[in-house]
Amino acid sequence: MESFSGPDATTSDDGPPPPSPRARSAEARRDAILTAAATAFVEHGYGATSVDDIAERLGVSKPTLYYHVGGKQELLGASFTLALDAYSDAVEDEAVSGVTGRERLHQVVQKYVEITTTVHGRCLHRVPDVELTPEVRDRLRAVKRKVDARIRDLLREGVRDGSLRSADIRMSTFAISGAMNSIAQWYAPSGKLSPEEIAERLWDSFAEGLRPR
């Protein structure tokens, strides 16, 4: 059985103990590496994090990280890609089961907020896109366009079926995306509210607005 640490493993003396190597698939190993990388980027910033920091966090050697994912930019790109795949899937037709535009938009908000609170979601919104390779930056833009187009379509659908108010669709889309993305700036897994509760309260503020009814 391959060990978690990979072919060139040496365990850091002062780092945390490495996770048990047993029953870990290559994919699980990759996940653990990407989680550690994204956590470091979120906590200390991309520029201030070295591959050494990430290796130390995992208690593995630098060549192990290179073997499983690659250098710092590949680690960042792979973290972004995990979040982008999740966002892209979340707005697909089959991921949304509601009947009215309002119900379907509500579901998209729930899924989007949940992804945004994961470490890869937070990494995506906190590391500036100038740090990305052109390929990942293009993918980021494509997924942003896809999500925004989906929110706009659901707003229009809701206006048509009478479940949503007719308003400035473009600005409402920006407001919803902007508010959801900003969760990545303040969310901490140790906080009081679960991702589900955050999504519900945010949805209430979008849906009901500030004016008394």
Positions touching its own copies (CB under 8 A) are 44-48, 102, 105, 126-128, 130-131, 155, 158, 162-165, 167-168, 171-172, 174-183, 185-186, 198, 201-202, 204-213
Give the CA angle between residues 105, 108, 113 to the nearest 5°: 125
Give 84: exposed, middle or buried? Use CB within 10 Å, 0-12, 13-18, 19+. buried
Q: Which amino acid is at 20?
A: S
Which of residues 9 and 179 has its CB atom nearest to its own copies in the complex? 179
Which of residues 3 and 177 has its CB atom nearest to its own copies in the complex? 177
Which of residues 111 and 126 has its CB atom nearest to its own copies in the complex? 126
Rounded least distance, CB 34 to its own copies, Å: 20
Using DSSP's 3-state secondary structure scheme, residue 98 falls into coil
Rounded least distance, CB 9 to its own copies, Å: 30
d(CA 173, CA 164): 13
> Which stretches of the chain are DSSP H helices?
26-44, 51-58, 62-68, 72-90, 101-117, 119-126, 134-161, 169-186, 195-208
Which of residues 15 and 128 has its CB atom nearest to its own copies in the complex? 128
Which of residues 4 and 46 has its CB atom nearest to its own copies in the complex? 46
Rounded least distance, CB 160 to its own copies, Å: 12
d(CA 27, CA 143): 24
Rounded least distance, CB 25 to its own copies, Å: 34
Rounded least distance, CB 90 to its own copies, Å: 19
